[in-house]
Chain A
Amino acid sequence: MDILSLFVIIPILTVIGIMITKDAKQTRVISAIGMGLQLILAAYLVYAYLSARQAGDLAEMLFRADYVWYANLNIHYAVGVDGISVAMIALTSIVVFAGIFASWQVEFLPKEFFISLILLSGGVFGFFISLDLFTMFLFYEVAVIPMYLLIGIWGSGPKEYAAMKLTLMLMGGSALLLVGLLGIYTNSAPDGGPLTFNILEIAKVNIPIEAQRMFFPMTFVGFGILGALFPFHTWSPDGHASAPTAVSMLHAGVLMKLGGYGAFRVAIFLLPEAAHELSWIFIILTSISVVYGAFGAIVQKDLKYINAYSSVSHCGLVLFAVLMMNKTAMDGAILQMISHGLMTALFFALIGMIYGRTHTRMINEMGGLMKVMPFLGVAYVIAGLASLGLPGLSGFVAEMTIFFGAFQHVDVFHRVVTIVAVSSIVITAVYILRVVGALLFGPIKNDHFLHLEDAKWFEKLSTVTLILAIAAIGIAPFWLSTMIGDSLQPIIDKLTVIIP
């Protein structure tokens, strides 16, 4: 048994465990134990990875395991991680762990809720460890489909509409993606020999440029839809706003990162020539995402919508950075994925907790919450500051690196779009500070708010976990940066051959 497969097996075992529990309390405990184990395992993986690198293991992927699954189509169950996947796995386990505690009080069908949530997380873990496009796509879809039930059953507002919209748009994206992946597969042996789904194998061959031109847009848009690429981002605000707390956390925090991760691991790594040729189209689209998302967040009044639009903006920045195709920007992209994942999960968790008390998410109906619930208030401020890129917190490191990398391009086009994208920092500051001001400070508008309690223990646990992670990245980004930087090297090496 290899260590990576455990990341899929633990969720499955947890689900089986939940199935035999009797009441909501046991369900919660089992889920927390399962995901706690997962968190410990992720921490161990980071440690094991770093010490393996320290010991001089220079392999592209570590902890590899490879089992033949469908021999005649050359489909393998192949797993392996580099620094980037390790970082993403760590992110996922933190967010899921926090998500379990954020949904401690789910009362309606708790068993089903936790089963769906953990299945979803299992899909995400599987996606990040996969080295085989077939299993990668399989896990991708496993991660998407429980979302329908989670939003449809436990959501709020126009939940049925939002759930259907989200599922169909993401599945439409995976339709494009599937054709793209099959295209990569059928062109994976241009010189003859067996076709393969293995990413590392495909990276060694040069896929014919005509095929690349056809399949790069499909693959990139396929992943891009999950990463809220304009104009395919519309599922995201509705979906996030209607989803229950833990699902918003997991979805904005982790699932949207599948898009960014796939975009560079598959679309750019395997189809670099076409990526270089066509990147300008997507750079324009992503800079629209970045700015449009930020402006969208300004005009919203519902806390969840504000955050959802802000996610569109931040995830757009990830795709933007990936398309810059140089080391610094890509480094920033990964940092941004992790930073945004933690920060937005924190945001959604806090919004869920606040909503659970005030029963409203409209900022004009709230005010002065800092006085009644200082813990949640302070946490919200921290999340806000991380989001607008305050030095010392994770957002700053990520965004600086991205814009620095993007500005390394000397041509006019790249500089102009970079300047456009940079403007989002200012807009972000506007909407974050506006919300913080209206929500936490000023007079208390509703007498009923005076009697609200501050966070309970499980809520504190959930929040503190996320804040610690955010601060850790902000204060000591270098180890994460080295981990990512080393792993980006193969991709950069491949790109430098093409890009002068």
Chain B
Amino acid sequence: MNLDSFLLMRHEMVLTIITLMVLIADLSFNEEKKIKVIWLATALFAINTIIGFLPNISGNLFGNMYKNTDLQWTMKNILNLGVLVVLLQSVEWLKSADNKYKISEFYLLVFSTLIGMQFMISSGSFLMLYLGLELATIPMAALAAYDRYRHHSAEAGIKLILSAAMSSAVLLLGITLIYGTTGSTYFDVVALKYANIPLQTLAFIFFFSGMAFKISLVPFHLWTADVYEGAPVNVTSYLSVISKGASAFILIIVLFTVFNSISMIWKPLLYIISVLTMTIGNLFAIRQQNMKRFLAFSSIAQAGFILLGIIGASSIGMTSVVYFVFVYIFSNLGAFGVVSVIYYKTQKENMDDYNGLYHTNPKLSLIMMLALFSLAGIPPVAGYFGKFFLFTAAASSGYYWLVFIAVLNATISLYYYLLVVKAMFINKSETPIAYFKTDVPAKIALSICVLGIFFIGFFSIIYQYLESISFGI
């Protein structure tokens, strides 16, 4: 291990160092000073994000087990940005009396999962992928159960760990079969030996099911709503944005590089799953009253849209997926940011509670509306561009009917997003949420989101950069 290889995996290395620093700080600070861990961790992570953006070095490590190209570099940076926003949104929540003794745990767990995701993205072998996956999953369950005295939170943790264990088992079985039929766990070797034979197809399906759990595709989505509702808001936003985005990144890389020879098998499969995911996610979202559950189901539906780009299977498809996730991070974190700010000020998280919000808290309502419009894909905000490119990717591969179903679903999703807009702008309320001041870190986080939502679409350079690093089958 020399300096070059350190630089090659700097995302993971710097993050590991930061994690250790937070741990040491937690040990050395006394009771009163513990709260300073928040600033330390956030500042360190901000530095990490900046370091991440320094020019990339491509290369392989550990005999192709670890790969880093511009694509991976970009994906990790996108995740870093998202996590930074989540951390800023969490500041106020962590300051509350309940969390006084477990502040640093939050950061440790978040950073560990992030390291796991980054290893997953960079993995060049199924073993590395699996290691990353577990590192990204198990601390996540602890995060979901972070409010351990709240019944729902503990329940969410248990649900997450059980379903994650289940999906890992299925995934491992898939990997075993892949190893059994090809004699290797390395992506490049497996890719060469993969063909349309029954056992390998079966192996793929097991592997895919395991991944589908992580992205919560239908029919592997049932854990999502309960976990999202039970977990603390900021953990939910982390789960539904960062974790899902990372899994989507990995799925597309693996499908395009390892399983490209059996694309005629996974395309129809993804087609059906995409239609089911969008439709079921949407239909359930319509009925939700709890904002967290509402966003949970809407994020299931969004995952269905991501599959459109994967099915497109072209370089435009991959570009659009990465771009969509990038946009989705800002839009969904914007929405979750507002929900969390309101929740920690007022303990309210039902849609009815938002009635008349515009008259008391106009700025928050506007941000929420922007974020929801972006999720629904209304121009001129970024979500429109994200969706449009996904549709273009699918249409240029000839999947017009899939695009049609997707656009119809986008219309359905507009309905329930508008319900929230209606609550905030049109409905009257006897007891609206009173005016309050948003804390500064959350303000910064929301501003980042708004900037992202507003401007990403207009600057085509982002999309073009992504195109230059993407590849198709």
Q: State the A residues within 8 Å of B (CB).
A: 69-73, 75, 134, 138-139, 141-142, 145, 148-149, 152-153, 159-160, 163-164, 167-168, 171-172, 174-176, 178-179, 182-183, 185-186, 195, 214, 218
CB pair A72–B467 under 8 Å, yes or no, is: yes
CB pair B425–A70 under 8 Å, yes or no, is: no
22 A-B pairs with CB atoms under 8 Å apart are A70-B463, A71-B460, A71-B464, A72-B467, A73-B389, A73-B392, A134-B388, A138-B379, A141-B379, A145-B373, A148-B418, A148-B421, A152-B422, A159-B426, A160-B422, A174-B407, A175-B407, A175-B410, A175-B411, A178-B391, A179-B407, A183-B395
Q: What residues of B have a CB within 8 angstroms of the CB of A175 in the complex? A: 404, 407-408, 410-411
Interface string of B359-384 (1 = CB under 8 A from A): 00000000000000100001110001
9 more A-B contacts (CB under 8 A) besides A69-B460, A134-B388, A218-B404? A142-B379, A153-B425, A153-B426, A178-B407, A179-B403, A182-B392, A182-B403, A185-B392, A186-B398
- B316 on interface, CB distance cutoff 8 Å: yes
Q: What residues of B have a CB within 8 angstroms of the CB of A149 in the complex? A: 421, 425
CB pair A182–B464 under 8 Å, yes or no, is: no
User: For residue B466, which residue of chain A has the nearest CB?
Assistant: A72
* Contacts known (A70-B463, A70-B464, A152-B426); A141 close to B392, Cβ less than 8 A: no
CB pair B395–A152 under 8 Å, yes or no, is: no
Closest CB of chain B to A189's CB: distance in Å? 11
- B53 on interface, CB distance cutoff 8 Å: no
Q: What residues of B have a CB within 8 angstroms of the CB of A73 in the complex? A: 316, 389, 392
Q: What residues of A have a CB within 8 angstroms of the CB of B316 in the complex? A: 72-73
Q: In the complex, what distance in Å separates the CA atom of A69 from the CA atom of B316?
A: 16
User: For residue A68, which residue of chain B has the nearest CB?
Assistant: B460
Q: Which residues of chain B from 394 to 420 have a CB within 8 Å of any chain A CB?
A: 395-396, 398, 400, 403-404, 407-408, 410-411, 414-415, 418
Closest CB of chain B to A154's CB: distance in Å? 10
CB pair B467–A182 under 8 Å, yes or no, is: no
Q: In the complex, what distance in Å separates the CA atom of A214 from the CA atom of B398?
A: 12
User: For residue B415, which residue of chain A has the nearest CB?
Assistant: A168
* Contacts known (A138-B379, A141-B378, A148-B418); A195 close to B396, Cβ less than 8 A: yes
Partner of B400, one of A152, A168, A183: A183
User: For residue B463, which residue of chain A has the nearest CB?
Assistant: A70
Partner of A172, one of B319, B379, B411, B463: B411
Q: What residues of A have a CB within 8 angstroms of the CB of B410 in the complex? A: 171, 175
Partner of B414, one of A72, A142, A167: A167
The 3 closest A-B pairs by CB, nearest first: A175-B407, A182-B395, A138-B379
User: For residue A164, which residue of chain B has the nearest CB?
Assistant: B418
Q: State the B residues within 8 Å of A (CB).
A: 316, 319, 373, 378-380, 384, 388-389, 391-392, 395-396, 398, 400, 403-404, 407-408, 410-411, 414-415, 418, 421-422, 425-426, 460, 463-464, 467
Partner of A72, one of B398, B403, B418, B464: B464
Partner of A179, one of B380, B389, B395: B395
Q: Is the interface of B mostly helix, strand, loop or mixed?
A: helix
CB pair B422–A168 under 8 Å, yes or no, is: no
User: For residue A214, which residue of chain B has the nearest CB?
Assistant: B400
Q: In the complex, what distance in Å separates the CA atom of A363 from the CA atom of B460?
A: 54
Q: Is the interface of A mostly helix, strand, loop or mixed?
A: helix
Most chain A beta-carbon neighbours within 10 Å: one of B414, B421, B467: B414
Most chain A beta-carbon neighbours within 10 Å: one of B379, B396, B404: B379
CB pair B404–A179 under 8 Å, yes or no, is: yes
Q: What residues of B have a CB within 8 angstroms of the CB of A138 in the complex? A: 379-380, 384
CB pair A186–B396 under 8 Å, yes or no, is: yes
Q: In the complex, what distance in Å separates the CA atom of A291 from the CA atom of B411?
A: 30
* Contacts known (A71-B464, A138-B380, A171-B411); A185 close to B418, Cβ less than 8 A: no
* Contacts known (A70-B463, A141-B378); A186 close to B426, Cβ less than 8 A: no
CB pair A182–B414 under 8 Å, yes or no, is: no
Closest CB of chain B to A96's CB: distance in Å? 19
CB pair A142–B460 under 8 Å, yes or no, is: no
User: For residue A148, which residue of chain B has the nearest CB?
Assistant: B418
User: For residue A215, which residue of chain B has the nearest CB?
Assistant: B400
Q: In the complex, what distance in Å separates the CA atom of A413 from the CA atom of B272?
A: 44
Q: What residues of B have a CB within 8 angstroms of the CB of A171 in the complex? A: 410-411, 414
Closest CB of chain B to A24's CB: distance in Å? 16
Closest CB of chain B to A372's CB: distance in Å? 35
Q: What residues of A have a CB within 8 angstroms of the CB of B426 in the complex? A: 152-153, 159-160, 163
Q: In the complex, what distance in Å separates the CA atom of A168 from the CA atom of B403?
A: 18
Q: In the complex, what distance in Å separates the CA atom of A178 from the CA atom of B403?
A: 9
Q: What residues of A have a CB within 8 angstroms of the CB of B378 in the complex? A: 141, 145
Q: In the complex, what distance in Å separates the CA atom of A186 from the CA atom of B404?
A: 15
Closest CB of chain B to A290's CB: distance in Å? 28
Closest CB of chain B to A415's CB: distance in Å? 36
Q: In the complex, what distance in Å separates the CA atom of A310 from the CA atom of B425?
A: 31
Q: In the complex, what distance in Å separates the CA atom of A185 from the CA atom of B425?
A: 38
Q: In the complex, what distance in Å separates the CA atom of A430 from the CA atom of B467?
A: 61
Q: In the complex, what distance in Å separates the CA atom of A159 from the CA atom of B426?
A: 10
Q: What residues of A have a CB within 8 angstroms of the CB of B425 in the complex? A: 149, 152-153
Q: What residues of A have a CB within 8 angstroms of the CB of B380 in the complex? A: 138, 142
Q: What residues of B have a CB within 8 angstroms of the CB of A185 in the complex? A: 392, 395-396
